[in-house]
Structure 1
Amino acid sequence: MEDAEEGIRAGVDALGFIFVEESPRYIEPEKAKEIAANISPFVDLVGVFIDRDNIEVQEIVDYCGLSYVQLHGSETPEYCGQLAYAASPCKVIKAFRISGSAIPEDFQPYQDVVQGFLLDTYVADQAGGTGSSFNWDMIESLALQRPIILAGGLSPDNVTEAIDKVRPFAIDVNSGVEIRPGLKDYDKLRMLLDAVWKADLARIS
């Protein structure tokens, strides 16, 4: 709860809850529901999943009151569509780990069933939270038709450059504002959000 409150105080637009038991940042649905019930209604809640049964995902979405699901596994377009068009639908973000071999055809089948693409760094046997960035220059060649959420090694030191180069709809940050996995560094969090606001102001001024 303290992490959530500090994040909101710093100015985040969304909070992520990682429902991947193997992750050091895993949170149980009961705890996520407790946090969700006590925060501002103008902050989006994002559930992070990897190749989990879509019925279980929908149950957690409904139980915790999530705004989005963020899918980091090998989920198919059909899987994404089942969540997007369910009886109680939620918005879907599909994550892709970007390597030098990424091509537009990797994304095309998802265009009609997701609200955005999260681009993270490809590291073998690691689905996310790598703490490493990738070659942002290649993003333009992917011809993405959905908003981009940029992830991968973002920190107060490089977030301004990332925003200037990529012009993403949003950024996703974790390890760059942590002391260790699962333990947030509030000073780094405030520094990063300050850099984000300054970069945004520079773009519109």
Structure 2
Amino acid sequence: MVKIKFCGLRRIEDIRYVNILKIDYAGFVFSKSKRIVDKDSARVLIENLDPEIKRVGVFVNEEIDFVAEIVNSLHLDIVQLHGKETDEYVDTLKSLLDVEIWKAVRIKGNENFIFQRADKILLDTFVVGLPGGSGIPFDWNSISNITLNKPFILAGGLNHLNVEKAIEILRPYGVDVSSGIETDGYKDFEKMRLFVEKVRK
């Protein structure tokens, strides 16, 4: 079954919603974003999260010491890198932390999808000035015949109206959504429920 990640969780209501829906991954943003959470706020959210849901920290071009502090303090399961982090950066993280690492690739043309160091690849839409969370899908057919050397998570403009088609075309390991399950910038339980229903269908 395709895995589901909800990203940009920042309210206790968001945690209640994901616990009800039993998704696979809960994402918390620790870099500059309208969905950013600080360590103390994230701790409260994670303490209330169903322990079977994996905890993902999202970072963009952060110092390794900062990432390590957040991971160790909050006992995160996964680090999602959404900036220009190099393979050497990933190697250093792996030497310091016992976590899975995802590396985002922003689709804009002929990308190099070979990331030997990251455990999984996250495919997102390229938008100038935005590392992610744009709410804009890329052309899924443009990469439908590319063989990736790692499991991949599909992101970028997904919602309950298009996620079935995206899965049909690309057959991803998982799907990642943030703005597509929001209304007026906040997580919307009905949109979340519909998204989960479409994916699991």
Q: Does the pair score TM above 0.5?
A: yes
Provide the residue aligned with 2:87 in structure 1.
77
- Greater Cα offset, 189-198 or 38-47: 38-47
CA distance in 2, matches of 1:146, 1:180: 35
- Give the superposition deviation at 1:187: 0.5
Provide the residue aligned with 2:3 in structure 1.
none
Show CA shifts across 1:105-153 (max 9, x none): x232x22x21100000011111101111111123244431111100000
TM superposition score normalised by structure 1? 0.89
Show CA shifts across 1:45-77 (max 9, x none): 000000000111011001111100111100000
Provide the residue aligned with 1:16 in structure 2.
27
CA distance in 1, matches of 2:23, 2:58: 17
Q: Which has the higher contact order (CA 8 A, sep 6+)?
A: 2
- Give the superposition deviation at 1:11: 2.6
Alignment RMSD (CA, Å): 1.2
CA distance in 1, matches of 2:90, 2:105: 14
Q: How does 1:18-97 map to 2 (within 5 A)?
A: 18-20=29-31, 22-86=32-96, 88-97=97-106
Which of 153, 157, 160 in structure 1 is aligned with 2:161? 157
Q: What is the identity percentage for the equivalent residue pairs of Structure 1 and Structure 2?
A: 38
Provide the residue aligned with 1:196 in structure 2.
199
Alignment-mate amino acid for residue 41 of structure 1: P
Matched residues, number: 190
Asked whether the equivalents of residues 82 and 103 of structure 2 are also in contact (C-alpha less than 8 Å), the reply is: yes
Asked whether the equivalents of residues 95 and 119 of structure 1 are also in contact (C-alpha less than 8 Å), the reply is: yes
Alignment-mate amino acid for residue 190 of structure 1: R
- Greater Cα offset, 41-50 or 140-149: 140-149
Asked whether the equivalents of residues 11 and 193 of structure 1 are also in contact (C-alpha less than 8 Å), the reply is: no
CA distance in 2, matches of 1:71, 1:169: 18
- Give the superposition deviation at 1:31: 1.1
Higher helix share: 1
TM superposition score normalised by structure 2? 0.90
Provide the residue aligned with 1:6 in structure 2.
17
Q: Once superposed, which parts of structure 1, at least 4 consecutive aligned residues long, lie more than 6 Å away?
A: none
- Unaligned residue ranges in structure 2 (runs of 5+): 1-11
CA distance in 2, matches of 1:46, 1:143: 25
- Unaligned residue ranges in structure 1 (runs of 5+): 199-205
Local SS of the residue matching 1:191: helix
CA distance in 2, matches of 1:94, 1:155: 22
Local SS of the residue matching 1:79: helix
Which of 169, 180, 183 in structure 2 is aligned with 1:179? 183
